[in-house]
Every structure is written in structure tokens, then in C-alpha cells.
Amino acid sequence: MTLPLADVRVLDFTMAWAGPFATRGLAYLGAQVIKIEGPTKWDMWRGAAKGGYPSRYPNLDPGPRPYNRAVFFNTQNHDKLSLGINLKRPGAREIILRLAKLCDVAIANFSPRALEGLGLGYRDLCQVRPDIIMVEMPAYGNDGPLAHHLGIGPNMEGMTGMAALMGYGDGTPTLTGIAYLDPIGGLHAAAAVLTALAYRRRTGKGQYIELAQREGALHWIGEFLLDYAENGRVFQPDGNHRPGYAPHDAFPCRGEDEWVAIAVSTDEQWQALCRVIQRPDLATDPRFATLPERWRNQELLDESITAWTRERDKHEIAQLLQSHGVPAAPVQMGKDIAEDPHLIERGFFAMLDHPEAGRHVYSGLGFRLKDTPGAMRTAAPCFGQHNRQILIDLLGMTEAEVQALEAAGVIADEIVDAS
């Protein structure tokens, strides 16, 4: 099957999550992605050269080359080729420019103008490939008072206002804990590349794309910005409670740290919930008769529902409530997701063989095209795994030239521990 981006080649300078998530999506749709990493400055999601927390490696074992077994890295770099090259060594820039001539897209999530400092900025790449599309993903943009502020997921999350929307009403903001700004930025970058490719196919022109990740995430809280702009209201978090819903919370279930989420927005759903938990007294109690009354008395309401959920399995509760028209879902943990029969039946997971990490299941992406659905085909690359494929097969270098580059420290297939 010919995938939609089978004729697209991407020069990938990204690291961590946001950028690799973007190029992962492009690779999923068939693009050939060439990942650029340095032997002394590699993708940070590979972890430390000598290994880190055991939980970040298969079987809790870092192995002799931990950077090739790192779980975080291997979840975001499927279907990519790896070129291990030291961009600060003489000759490296020329290799990258030769590659750029053959690439349709270049993408980086470094700080502003980092690639310009290496002589690999947009103007430099345009000299060899005038119609190239280049995406850079600075946290706060290339200009403005915050342009040079360091940006990582948690602090960008605070800067978007998202953290102020979560908490328990005690004034302390709460982060999501997993830096969701990164995949938001990655999805925006992938969409921007697809848009630019469509434009280029129509006009023959490439372009530079600045994707300020903070700005990309602001639309996630758009209703709160509008509420303040129009009404002067500042949203005040109150745990899992939300206006327009009561009950609306996660309730403890049987087992350790097991929960079910229940969200009731109509009187019909409330009556159905009362029938399921066999509490007709709650259905006729004037304190809970209407949504405004339930909202005012939700602490009492939560106590009654908890008494029922605590003795039952979260999956069974969710199935039972859903069958009666009550919105509910088990609060899934990693094990639940990995064993989810719905995801398994839909083919969300893929089994991939990695030369050093072994055979494992990897999660897919949340979009599929009907005729060209995309696929995960190969596991993430080992560092520098495709040096010869890229330099000899793609650029036409000789084996002697490649060996000379290795001897000069320009390319490598091992990370150099600089600690």
C-alpha cells in the first residue's frame, strides 16, 4: 500500500517529545524521516549514556548501550533512520546540506536561531533546496520578550494558564504531571507540515513555519479566555467538580487506587444512576431533585455514590452505568490500557522488533485514513544505525569516505559519555 507521504523525505533535528511526536506522525503516514543526533549531544529521551532509572528500560535492565534501550525514546521514534553526526566538526555541515538538497521538510525544536548558529538555518537550507519547508518549534516564539526563555512541558503548561484550571480550590495550581504541551505542539507541527506540503504542490513554493508551542496550546483553554474577556470571570478550580454536572467526580472502587469517573448532566441521567445503585430515596430527595440542588449538595451526593462504588470493580461499574445511559468510564492505568480489548480489536497496538531492546508492543496514533491508514513498520533506530545507508546509498559516498568521517569523529554509532 502506498502511504500518503511516501514521496516525502524529512530532515529531523528534534529531540525529547514535541518534535519527535511530530515526525513520528509524518513517518506513520509514510515519510522517510532522517533523525540527526550528535554523539556528544543526543536526543535527551535516550537518557544518560550509562543508563538511568531502571524503570525506563525493558526488564529493568539498561544493558551495555542504555541509550538504545530507552523506553521513552523508543516510543516516539518508530520508522525513522538515525544519522549519528557531530554538527560542530568540520565537514558535518556540508553533509547536512547535501542531505537537505534531497529533503522536502526540515524540522527542529531547539531554541530560537540555534540552527542558524551552525550555518543550517532556513536561508542556508534554501540555498541548496529553494522549495524546502522548514519548521522550528520555539517555546515562546522567535521574537518578543520571552523568546529566549527556556521552555519545557511543565513550565509552558503554567504559561498557558492550564495549571490554574486544575486544583482543589485551595489556591494551589496543579500540573498534569506529564507535560501535555509536548504532544499538543507535535500535532500542530505535523498539521503545519501537511498544510505547507499541500501549498507547495499547488504553487511550487516552500516556506518557513514558526510554531510557538505556548501559543499552539492556548486554544485548549479558549472558553476560559473568552469568559474572562466577555464577562470578567476568572475560573476557580474545585477538584473534579464542574459547573453543569453533578455528580462529576472520580469515585473509589474495589482494589488499591482504583477509580471510576461518573459525569451526570441531566435529570434523566441522575434518575438512571439512582436506579442502578438502588437508591430510590436519592431520586426523590429534594436536595438532589434538580441539577442546581445537586450542585449545591454534591459533597453529600459523593458520599452516597462512593458507598456503592467502593465495593465494585471499576470496569463493571462503567459497563453497567453506560448500559443505562449514564456517562461513566474506568480510570485506566498503564496495565488497563495495554490490555484494553477495545484498543486491541481496533489494531491500535503494533508488535515491533528492536535490535537491542527486543520485541515489544507499541501504541499507535489517534488518526487513520480510510484508504491509506498509516502504519508502524519498524522500531526506533539505534544511535547511528543508518549511517552507511544514508551516506553511501543516499548520498553516494564511498566506504573509504565514510571510514575517514568516522576516524575524524564526524560520524559515530556510539554515544560519547562527556560526564
Task: Assess whether 190 and 280 both reside in one domain.
Answer: no
Q: Is residue 105 part of a domain?
A: yes
**SS3 state of residue 243:** coil
On whether the CB atoms of residues 99 and 394 are closer than 8 A, the answer is: yes
Task: Assess whether 89 and 31 both reside in one domain.
Answer: yes
Region 14-26 average pLDDT: 95
Q: Mean pLDDT for the chain?
A: 93
Q: Is residue 227 part of a domain?
A: no
Instruction: Name the nearest CA neighbour of 317 among 260, 272, 366.
Output: 260
Task: Assess whether 329 and 351 both reside in one domain.
Answer: no
Task: Assess whether 316 and 353 both reside in one domain.
Answer: no
Q: How confident is the model at residue 95 (pLDDT cuts 50, 70, 90)?
A: very high
**Number of domains making up the chain:** 2
Q: Is residue 162 part of a domain?
A: yes
Q: How confident is the model at residue 140 (pLDDT cuts 50, 70, 90)?
A: confident
- Dump pLDDT digits (tens) for 268-282: 999 999 999 999 999
Task: Assess whether 329 and 363 both reside in one domain.
Answer: no
Q: Check residues 197 and 228 and name the one with the higher pLDDT.
A: 197
How many whole angstroms separate alpha carbon 353 and alpha carbon 373? 21
| Catalytic residue (choose from 12, 182, 249, 302) | 182
How many whole angstroms separate alpha carbon 70 and alpha carbon 166? 31
How many whole angstroms separate alpha carbon 61 and alpha carbon 51? 9
How many whole angstroms separate alpha carbon 109 and alpha carbon 35? 13
On whether the CB atoms of residues 389 and 365 are closer than 8 A, the answer is: no
Q: Which residue's C-alpha cell is 445511559?
A: 325
- Dump pLDDT digits (tens) for 299-333: 898 999 999 999 999 999 999 999 999 999 999 99
Q: Is residue 3 part of a domain?
A: no
Q: Whole domain around residue 320: which residue ranges?
A: 248-333
Task: Assess whether 274 and 298 both reside in one domain.
Answer: yes
| Residue 197 belongs to domain with CATH number | 3.40.50.10540
On whether the CB atoms of residues 58 and 40 are closer than 8 A, the answer is: no
| Residue 296 belongs to domain with CATH number | 3.30.1540.10
The strand pair at 259-263 and 328-330 is best described as antiparallel
Q: Is residue 4 part of a domain?
A: no
Task: Assess whether 28 and 97 both reside in one domain.
Answer: yes
Q: Is residue 152 part of a domain?
A: yes
Q: Is residue 340 part of a domain?
A: no
In this prediction the pTM is: 0.90
Please say which residue of 304, 333, 362 terminates a domain: 333
Q: Is residue 417 part of a domain?
A: no
Task: Assess whether 354 and 326 both reside in one domain.
Answer: no
Please say which residue of 276, 307, 333 terminates a domain: 333
Please say which residue of 333, 361, 392 terminates a domain: 333
Task: Assess whether 167 and 266 both reside in one domain.
Answer: no
Task: Assess whether 264 and 191 both reside in one domain.
Answer: no
Task: Assess whether 371 and 316 both reside in one domain.
Answer: no
Task: Assess whether 252 and 197 both reside in one domain.
Answer: no
182 is catalytic: yes
C-alpha dist (Å) from residue 87 to 26, 92, 101: 24, 5, 17
User: Percentage of the chain surpassing pLDDT 70?
Assistant: 99
Rounded to the nearest 10 degrees, the angle between the axes of helix 267-276 and helix 314-323 is 130
How many whole angstroms separate alpha carbon 5 and alpha carbon 8? 5
